[in-house]
């Protein structure tokens, strides 16, 4: 899928960035002034902050040609896009990925031991994720529901 399939998301550039431009007063139920790490569901689709951040990062990877990714790779891309030196903790990351998969926004599969060996890695196989068409639509609906768009890696309000 090319960037042309994500025009509503793109708004020019489609890179996850600072979520601080979102209206903190009514966008996320139970969130702190910096969104906190609350997992309380907000009205509407029910995505929480980390789920939205990961879903938009997955859409960005797809638009740049990466069709599948493992969780840690997704977290690294998110941290880089947000210009953060810290990466989301593993429990937080994998809970959010599991919830997105349960919603049908992501699909996953385990790599085979042979594939891992062919890449020169030993140990546990990786679980690879890919964003689904439903996930792309969910990301679009989240941006529309909050009247937001991506511009230069920032979530900004759409003009009325």
- Judge if pTM exceeds 0.85: no
Q: Which band of pLDDT confidence, cut at 50, 70 and 90, is reported for residue 151?
A: low
Which residue is listed with tokens 């690879």? Answer: 128
Class of CATH domain 3-157: mainly alpha
Q: At which residue do the structure tokens 């980390």 appear?
A: 50
Cα distance from N-terminal residue to C-terminal residue, the chain? 30
User: How confident is the model over 94-136, as pLDDT tens digits?
Assistant: 999 999 999 999 999 999 888 888 888 888 889 999 999 999 9
Starting at the earlier edge strand, list the strands of the sheet with 69-70.
69-70, 127-131, 106-110
Mean pLDDT of the 82-98 span: 91
Cα distance between residue 152 and residue 55, in whole Å: 17
Distance CA(74)–CA(53), nearest Å, equals 10
Per-residue pLDDT band for 7 (boundaries 50, 70, 90) equals: very low
Question: How far apart, in whole angstroms, are the C-alpha atoms of residue 145 and residue 120?
Answer: 45
User: What average pLDDT does range 56-84 have in this prediction?
Assistant: 90
Count Cα atoms within 13 angstroms, Cβ side, for 57.
Answer: 29
């Amino acid at each position: 899928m090319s960037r042309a399939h994500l025009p509503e998301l793109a708004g020019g550039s489609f890179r996850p960035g600072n979520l601080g431009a979102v209206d903190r007063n009514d966008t996320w139920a139970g969130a702190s002034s910096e969104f906190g790490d609350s997992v309380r569901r907000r009205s509407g689709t029910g995505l929480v902050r980390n789920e939205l951040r990961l879903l938009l990062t997955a859409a960005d990877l797809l638009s740049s040609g990466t069709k599948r990714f493992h969780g840690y790779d997704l977290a690294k891309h998110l941290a880089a896009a947000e210009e953060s030196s810290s990466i989301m903790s593993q429990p937080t990351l994998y809970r959010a990925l599991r919830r997105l998969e349960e919603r049908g926004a992501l699909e996953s599969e385990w790599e085979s031991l042979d594939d891992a060996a062919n890449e020169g890695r030993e140990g546990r196989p990786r679980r690879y994720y890919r964003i689904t068409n439903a996930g792309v639509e969910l990301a679009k609906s989240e941006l529309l529901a909050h009247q937001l768009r991506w511009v230069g890696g920032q979530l900004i309000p759409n003009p009325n």
